[in-house]
Amino acid sequence: MDRKKIFITRKINSKGIELLKKYYDLIFTNTPDAPSKNVMLQKVKNVHGILCTLSEKIDSDIMDAAGSNLKVISTYSTGYDHIDICEATKRGIYVTTTANILSEATADLTLGLILALSRKILEGHLYIIDGKWKKGWTPDLFLGSNIYGSTLGILGLGNIGTAVARRANGFNMNIIYNNRHRLSKSIENKLNATFVTFDQLLENSDFLSIHTNFDKDNFHLIDIRELQKMKKTSFLINTSRGSIINEISLIKALKNKWIAGAGLDVFEKEPISNLNELLKIKNVILLPHLGSATVQTRERMSKVAAINLHNILSNKKPLSLVNRELLQNLC
């Protein structure tokens, strides 16, 4: 009996691969880099499943090329805006994610950006590396901002936002948040978090951390108006999706000192161009999309992506399904 075929779009942690190769014929690009669309169109022919990352756009063209065998698209990510969910659902193709696995790692990184920005850690490091520290300790060298007792604004108090709030409590931060839907009083009390309007969040945050999901309603949610409402002493942190912030407006805000700085792990276009003006601004920290980049997290992501795919092809419920309306078709 012929084994089902799985296309794995790029090289990922081996734990999930080891699980899948027991049951399926695996087709690889065998590179850590995102494949071109033309490569994917060739590789997906007659496959039963696709294991992709957030860098690969899985649209109707890819689904057409795969053909009628395609039953599941398992993404090695918590986000799924790179997949045409409506098209997949219409075709009866299950779309799965790694769900909440990366929440703690991303929250750690978020706190790291807050610490590094407010205390000028990167600037101090480079000051020494560049051989500029000549006078020893001085009273006014790289004066930063307090974290302890400051106000943390969280835009999107979901799984990652909640993990950030738990960490912020250790710094005795005043936590305010804005969601589309207010959380229960019990959750607010547990996190010491206060619900505020969007504008109140902008106006009162010393650190504004973005953790909302990305969709068409959130495109450029942070733009000129929003940046001008923020404190001149505030910092903007984004470990969610790059397109939530209008980068051109952010560059203008940083240059004109409407805000004190920004820590960005995600960008509108990745990788960012060498011509991007963010590279010339000193009061920013830029990271190459490292939110989930720990050995432990990536290993778990690989396993869950593989289990999701295997469960669907075995007619079982996956660990995390996006188009839940298809659940009725599974045993």
Fold of the 103-286 domain: Rossmann fold (3.40.50)
Kindly report, residue by residue over 281-290, the tens digit of the pLDDT: 989 999 999 9
The pairing of strands 174-178 and 193-195 is parallel
Q: The whole model's pTM is what?
A: 0.91
Residue 331 has pLDDT above 60, yes or no: no
Residue 266 has pLDDT above 80, yes or no: yes
Catalytic residues: 241, 270, 289
pLDDT range class, residue 1, cuts 50, 70, 90? low
- For residue 29, what pLDDT is reported? 87
Positions of CATH 3.40.50.720 in the chain: 5-101+295-329, 103-286
Residue 37 has pLDDT above 90, yes or no: yes
Does residue 318 contact residue 311 with C-beta atoms inside 8 Å? yes
Length of the chain: 331
pLDDT range class, residue 32, cuts 50, 70, 90? confident
Sign of CA dihedral 47, 50, 55, 60: positive
22-31, 60-69, 102-111: range with lowest mean pLDDT? 22-31
- Over residues 15-33, mean pLDDT: 91
Residue 168 has pLDDT above 70, yes or no: yes
- For residue 228, what pLDDT is reported? 98
Q: How far is CA 243 from CA 18, 247, 269, in A?
A: 35, 8, 8
State the burial class of residue 170 (Cβ atoms within 10 Å of its Cβ: 0-12, 13-18, 19+). exposed
Q: Top-level CATH class of 5-101+295-329?
A: alpha beta
Map residue 237 onto helix, strand or coil: strand
CA angle 15, 321, 157 (to 5 degrees): 95
Residue 183 has pLDDT above 70, yes or no: yes
- For residue 130, what pLDDT is reported? 96
- For residue 330, what pLDDT is reported? 79
What would you measure as the largest C-alpha separation in the chain, in angstroms?
Answer: 76
Kindly report, residue by residue over 90-135, the tens digit of the pLDDT: 999 999 999 989 999 999 999 999 999 999 999 999 999 999 999 9
Q: What percent of the chain has pLDDT over 90?
A: 92
